[in-house]
Amino acid sequence: MKDLEAADVNRPSRSQLKREDQALFVMAKELVELSLVSLVTLKLSDQLMEAVKMASAMPANKGARKRQLKYIAGILRTLGTDVIQERLDLLKNKSAHSARELHKVEHWRARLLSEDKTALTELLDSHPEADIQYLRQLVRGAKKEMALDKPAKSARLLFRQLKGLFDETDQLN
């Protein structure tokens, strides 16, 4: 009798099991929402990869997809989810970092196009390795295109130039 009581004490509660199942279901949803390229970077098992591909091809508001997500959660239960969760978190942080970087570049481009020489001076102070003549040329061209209502070719080139400039600086740090 005491052996049965000891086994019950070591076993997780039903509530705990439900919380774990819910966490696995959420992870399954996150996996299904990822692009194929992102899935490949996670290095999932073949069985899990096929199940995720099948679920992502299904309509979102149908019962079949929900059953497939539960199936994926069951596969995840048998696997070690710690590694997959770490890779997912890393992938999320990368995309958040990329979004911040793009906002920074867009902010600088807007400043260069709206302000006169103060923004360019600040940019060159923080990035002395930048090609000042090319940047000035792109800024002039983008302002001219905006004034004449032409396609924003120079503005796109300015964005690429700034993105490359900030990428080089981030790699050095």
Computed from CA positions of residues 59, 60, 64, 68, in that sequence, does the dihedral angle turn out positive or negative?
Answer: positive
Give residue 85's pLDDT. 82
Give CA–CA dist 95/112, Å, rounded. Answer: 26
Give CA–CA dist 157/69, Å, rounded. Answer: 43
Give residue 40's pLDDT. 83
Give residue 20's pLDDT. 86
The per-residue DSSP string of 132-150 comes to: HHHHHHHHHHHHHHHHTT-
Give residue 168's pLDDT. 66
Closest CA to 21 of 62, 72, 64: 72
- Domains assigned to the chain: 2-79 (no CATH), 95-172 (1.10.60.30)
Give CA–CA dist 46/58, Å, rounded. Answer: 19
Give residue 5's pLDDT. 58
Give residue 169's pLDDT. 58
Could you list the pLDDT tens digit for every one of the 173 residues in the chain? 555 555 566 788 888 888 888 888 888 888 888 888 878 888 888 898 899 899 988 888 888 889 999 999 988 888 877 888 888 887 777 767 777 888 888 888 888 888 777 888 888 888 888 888 988 888 889 888 888 888 888 888 888 888 888 776 555 54
